[in-house]
Amino acid sequence: MKKIYKDEDNYHVQNGCYNCKKCFIQMEYDDHDQYFCHLDGSKRPKCGSVLMDEDFWGSLTKDISDDDSKEVQDAKFKKAEAECSVIWDEWEAWIVGRSVRAWGICDEWEMKEDESGNCQIY
């Protein structure tokens, strides 16, 4: 493993899900990061994170305007709720059996590297 800090000869990075290429890390502004194993490389649905620009509620409600009548607003809101529920159910189904601990490790661990070949730490 390449050194990250030149001035520290005894520094090394521990292996773990937090720096594994096969781990998806869901990040949010006001919440703890959540880690999910993505060994199978399957298509991952949006996770709903605003920080990661995967917020689906905002995109589903952006066309609701104060200029709309209450009936139109209610109809658009109801439609957005239904669509959000479907997307959320897809996310909830995807995460089943994938939740891992940040500092855990399995036999499939593979280091994430940045452009310089250094291990990425989150």
pLDDT for 15-53, tens place per residue?
A: 888 889 899 999 999 889 999 999 999 999 999 999 999
Strand arrangement of the beta sheet that strand 23-26 belongs to: 23-26, 34-37, 99-100
Pairwise CA distance, residues 30 & 46, whole Å:
18
Token pair, residue 13, equals 């990075």
Short-list 119, 48, 53, CA closest to 88: 48
Q: Average of pLDDT values for 77-101? A: 95
Q: What are the Cα distances from residue 103, in Å, to 16, 19, 37, 45, 49?
A: 5, 9, 12, 24, 22
Domain boundaries of the chain, sorted by first residue = 17-100
Longest dimension (CA), the chain: 67
Q: CA neighbours within 13 Å on the CB side: how many for 32? A: 5
pTM over 0.85: no
Pairwise CA distance, residues 28 & 53, whole Å:
10
Please tell me the predicted confidence (pLDDT) of residue 111: 81
Q: Would you place residue 110 in the very low, low, confident or very high pLDDT band (cuts 50, 70, 90)?
A: confident
Short-list 43, 14, 40, CA closest to 122: 14
Token pair, residue 92, equals 């909830």
Rounded mean pLDDT of the chain?
86
Pairwise CA distance, residues 67 & 119, whole Å:
51
